[in-house]
Amino acid sequence: MNLRSVRLFLLITREYLKRNAIRVIGGIVLIMLLVIFQTRLKLFYSPDIIRVGLIGTYQEHDLPIEVTRLLSSGLIEASSDGKIKPNLVSGWETNNDATSFKFKLKDLKWVDKETVKASDLEFSIPNTNVSFPDDKIIQFDLKESYSPLPSLLTKPIFKKGTLIGTGPYKIKKIEKSRIFITKLILEPQDGKSPGIVVRFYPNEKIAVTGFNLGEVQVLMGLSNPKLVGSSPLIGAVQTIDYSKIVTILFQTTDSLLHNRSLRQSLAFQTPKIENEEVANNPYPPQSWARDSDSKKYLSNPEEAAAALERAKSTLPDDQLRSGLILTATPNLEEVGKVVVESWKKLGFDSKLRIESGIPQNFQALLITQSIPVDPDQYFLWHATQAKTNLTRYDSKRVDKDLEDGRKIISEEDRKVKYFDFQKTLLEDAPAVFLYFPKHNVIYLKKLEPFLNKILIP
């Protein structure tokens, strides 16, 4: 291009700008506004990447299930009613006393394209010897009968010592701050699904700030959706987490709470928590082992008064006038306040104490507990389980039901044992089973097509 052509181009450009100044300025302003809106509100997003926020501090060995289920699958999967079926195995065999199990792997590939071999896997199950007779067989030999063993194999599998799974995603990059992971970049294996960037936030306040600044488009596990405010661009999904239960545990060796009638009185007096799904039982409502006709407590002041009268016949007046302390974890403080106020109506000087973690000593403890996939709750209620039976509950009948339930293979015969377990446990009332908590997912509405396919199981 010669000098004359350049001059001619500049003259034409200047003349155009003079005649169309308003249009040009308007276009520039529009572009600037779009940039601002995109930065603040994320009106547009790349369909190739989804940015997800999770709350908590994690390392490679303890990644949350929201991440691990994207990276791999379990040998076994559980249906909504707690029944188990093969997933990455074609099936399994067991002997008559449930002390030996053999699982056969399907033909599988890790995300690094190598064939999955039985010896690639690593298991940590107490009192169990794991062997690999060949590349497809995993054998478990137990010291004692344990029929629910397959239910322990629902967690996603990984190649020994790595985070290499069976997909649908693999880890492309890990970013850390000291020992904790701050960001994961996940790459899809099918070449069609969007990539996923996972950011980890140490607490809810920082996570909400990250969402509002557009660092993430999805925020999972928030305790209250209202923390992010309201916007027509933002959606929320609430699902009930039946793998956890909010419970009040009574210390059964306490000088006051060792009295069964008093525990029953408190259980009857405890109110149903508004907008939560009532539990009233140690098992989820869809569990095959739940007895739908089992004893019900909660929001029954008449029965509470009657049970208190029974307690008065065996407890001295000074004990009934003593204080009653409910300890709660910080996230359950508001629920604790409701419970304490209800107990005051029975005449107790009840107070709420907030503590992080599980206290060594307590009278009553408001806590969220995990529920095993299988109905076997031996570790929660058997008298020998000093570290996990926090109530120190001791019932020979319950112990026998739980012992038999993990030895029997037949589901119908196991159900008989667990129905009797529920009957005795609920009558003794070492705990009040309040509700199953909700799992909240906050997201930009434009991501809805991907949420159901990828992010919400």
- CATH number of the domain that residue 111 is part of: 3.90.76.10
For the chain, list residues with pLDDT below 70.
Answer: 1-47, 452-457
Cβ neighbours around 129 below 10 Å, total: 11
Q: Are residues 301 and 203 in the same domain?
A: no
Same domain for 88 and 55, yes or no, is no
Tell me: do 300 and 385 sit in the same domain.
yes
Q: Which helix (H) or strand (E) holds 277?
A: strand 277-278
Q: How far apart are CA 53 and CA 196, in angstroms?
A: 10
Residues 403 and 305 in one domain: yes
Q: Are residues 258 and 402 in the same domain?
A: yes
pLDDT of residue 322: 77
- Do 325 and 348 belong to one domain? yes
- 286 in any annotated domain: yes
Which one, of 342, 251, 269, 339, lies nearest residue 308 by Cα?
Answer: 269
Shared-domain flag, residues 326 and 376: yes
Question: Given this model, what pLDDT does residue 410 score?
Answer: 95
Alpha carbons 63 and 444: distance in angstroms, whole number:
24
What's the longest Cα–Cα distance across the chain? 112
The pLDDT value recorded for residue 46 is 45
Q: Are residues 366 and 445 in the same domain?
A: no
Q: Using the CB atoms, write b or e for 341-357: b if 16+ within 10 Å.
A: ebbeebebebebeeeee
Domain enclosing residue 111, as ranges: 73-153
Alpha-carbon span 387 to 378, nearest angstrom: 12
Using a 10 angstrom Cβ sphere, with 0-12 exposed, 13-18 middle and 19 or more buried, the burial of residue 297 is: buried
CA nearest 375: which of 283, 261, 273, 302?
Answer: 283
Whole-model pTM above 0.85? no
**Same domain (yes/no): 113, 187:** no
CATH number at residue 264: 3.10.105.10
Alpha helices in 20-93 (DSSP H): 21-41, 65-71
Q: How many domains does the chain have?
A: 3
- Convert 49-68 to b/e letters by CB count within 10 Å (16 or more is b): ebbbbbbeebeeeebeebbb
Name the nearest CA neighbour of 434 among 328, 303, 309. Answer: 328
Partner residues linked to 236 by β-bridges: 442
Stated length of the chain:
457
**And the tokens for 254?**
């306490």
Residues 255 and 274 in one domain: yes
Determine contact, residues 383/394, Cβ cutoff 8 Å: yes
CA triple 89-95-101, angle to 5 deg:
30
On whether residue 26 sits in a domain, the answer given is no
For residue 225, give both structure tokens.
């959706």
* Same domain? 313 vs 368: yes
Q: Is residue 405 part of a domain?
A: yes
Q: What is the CATH number of the domain that holds 207?
A: 3.40.190.10
Residue 209 lies in a domain: yes
Q: Report yes or no on 40 lying in a domain.
A: no
Examine the fold and report which residue of 109, 129, 153 is the final residue of a domain before the chain moves on.
Answer: 153
Residue at 172 is within a domain = yes
CB atoms inside a 10 Å sphere around CB 8: 11
Verify that 333 and 253 share a domain, yes or no: yes
Q: Which helix (H) or strand (E) covers residue 427, if one does?
A: helix 411-428
Which residues contact residue 402 at a Cβ distance below 8 angstroms, ignoring those fewer than 6 apart? Answer: 376, 377, 378, 381, 382, 417, 421
